[in-house]
Each structure stands twice: as C-alpha cells, then as structure tokens.
Amino acid sequence: MMVLGVCVSLSTGHRGQRLVEAMVLGATNATADAGFRLKAVHVQGATSMAQPDILRAANVHSGQPILGVDLQALRNRVQSVGWVQEVRVVRLLPDTLVLAVKQRRPVAVWQHAGRTMTIDDAGRVIQEADPARFPTLPLIVGAGADQAASPILNALSQRPPLMSQIEALVRVDERRWDLRLKDGTLVQLPATGEDSALIRLDRLEQSQRILDLGLARIDLRDPEFLAVRPRGDPATSNAPAAEKGPE
C-alpha cells in the first residue's frame, strides 16, 4: 500500500494537493465576492506613535479576502514589533480585523557604546522608538544600565524634586549608580542600599539644602561617612572631605 501511494503521488505530480489548494482558494474568493473582504483594521491599546509601525508589520490591505488572512501569522508579525508586548488578533466578519495590543512603555533613554536607544521597564530596547522623540525621559548611561534601571528609576520617581535635577544616571562598573545633576554635582550611590542612601540625601537636603551648596561631589557610598568635595576648591581637588557623625 505504501508503494502504491508513492506511485500514485509520482504519477499525479501531487495534483491532489494542488486540487485541494485550488478548492480552498476558490472558496475564499467566493466568500470575498459575497462581501467578506477586509475593509478596516482597528488597533487597540497602542499610542498614535506606535500604530504606524504595528500596521506596517501587519501587512494586510483593504479589499483582500478576510477569510484568507492567517491570524497566527498576522499575530507573529505584529508581535515582532518592539512596541508590542502582547497582541490578540480578532476577525470580525464580514470585514474587520482587531489588533488588541498591550504596548511596552518607554521609561528611559539608554546611551552605550556610541548608540542611543529607548528602553522599557524591563530593559528591553524598543527599536522603533526614536530617542529624539522622548526628550523628557531619564538618560541612563553605561554597560548594564538598561537591565538595572528599573529599581533606581522607581526610587527616584518618588522624589520629584531630585529627579528634576538629574542630567543622567551613570552605571559604574555594572554594580552601582552615579547621579549627575544639571548643575554639575556628582552624587555617588552605593552598590547596595540605594534607598537608604537616597533617604540620607533627602534628609541632608531638608536640613542643609546640600544640593544648593555648589558641591562638586556628594559621596554616599559609605553608610557611616558622608564625603563631599566643594567645587573649584584647590584644597580638595585631589581628595574628598570626609565627615562622620550626625547628618
């Protein structure tokens, strides 16, 4: 029987398969002639900035037979767009497709190895998101900054006055952060205990207005010491001044 099947396939040149494909195509065209043609594609859950990239990836066009659209292939194409975290594709007969998208949210602009990229809260690069269109997002710099950004950004979001003064967050040795402020001050945070260091900084700001003192550096890496370096002070140009005790 196996030999007979092979012989039939060879003798017919797979005409049976082609016949089935022709019948499917004919049925699809018949439904299209009956009005089942694509007229509208609705994108839900995506911003106006992301929608053009999603529609381009969908690669469907008005007038094509709607029953001939491969929904799984369509979903895969849309899922490949950097903006898209998840997508559900729904076919509404006779003429509509719905793309229900859960969109990735840009949270920072990451600068590394000569490139500038927009990332989401998981550190994933959103390729289609031009960083130039997000001038208000925090700038993070350095190797590993993309994957480590979420906790520090969450902590800083609870401190809007400090966040508004930050020019960039620099990842140092892939283990800790430096905060570079717009006035040139460098705030050095520890590798662990970032929240505690930021609480110390809050207290110093409330009690001494430390961020208004024109310091070149505020070193919070040691929980027992506070080291500061005045800006332009030749006596402290090579080493920070260190203090111990109540802050």
pLDDT for residue 191 is more than 80: yes
In this prediction, residues 19-28 reach a mean pLDDT of 44
pLDDT for residue 179 is more than 80: yes
Question: Which are the contacts of 26, defined by CB distance < 8 A and separation ≥ 6?
Answer: none
The total of other beta-carbon atoms located within 10 Å of residue 54's CB is: 22
pLDDT for residue 197 is more than 70: yes
Question: Could you tell me the end-to-end alpha-carbon distance of the chain, in angstroms, rounded to an integer?
Answer: 91
pLDDT for residue 195 is more than 70: yes
Q: CATH for 36-103?
A: 3.10.20.310
- The DSSP H or E segment spanning 200 is helix 194-208
pLDDT tens sequence across 208-221: 999 999 999 999 99
Prediction pTM value: 0.78
pLDDT for residue 52 is more than 50: yes
pLDDT tens sequence across 92-127: 999 999 999 999 999 999 999 999 999 999 999 999
Give me the residue spans of the domains in the chain: 36-103, 106-244
d(CA 25, CA 29): 6
Instruction: Report the pLDDT value the prediction gives residue 237, as an integer from 0 to 100.
Output: 40
Instruction: Report the pLDDT value the prediction gives residue 8, as an integer from 0 to 100.
Output: 42
Q: What CATH fold (topology level) applies to the domain 106-244?
A: Rossmann fold (3.40.50)
CA distances 239 to 5, 48, 221, 235, 247, Å, are: 87, 51, 15, 8, 20
The total of other beta-carbon atoms located within 10 Å of residue 46's CB is: 22
Percent over 90 (pLDDT), the chain: 79
SS3 126: coil
Instruction: Report the pLDDT value the prediction gives residue 232, as an integer from 0 to 100.
Output: 78
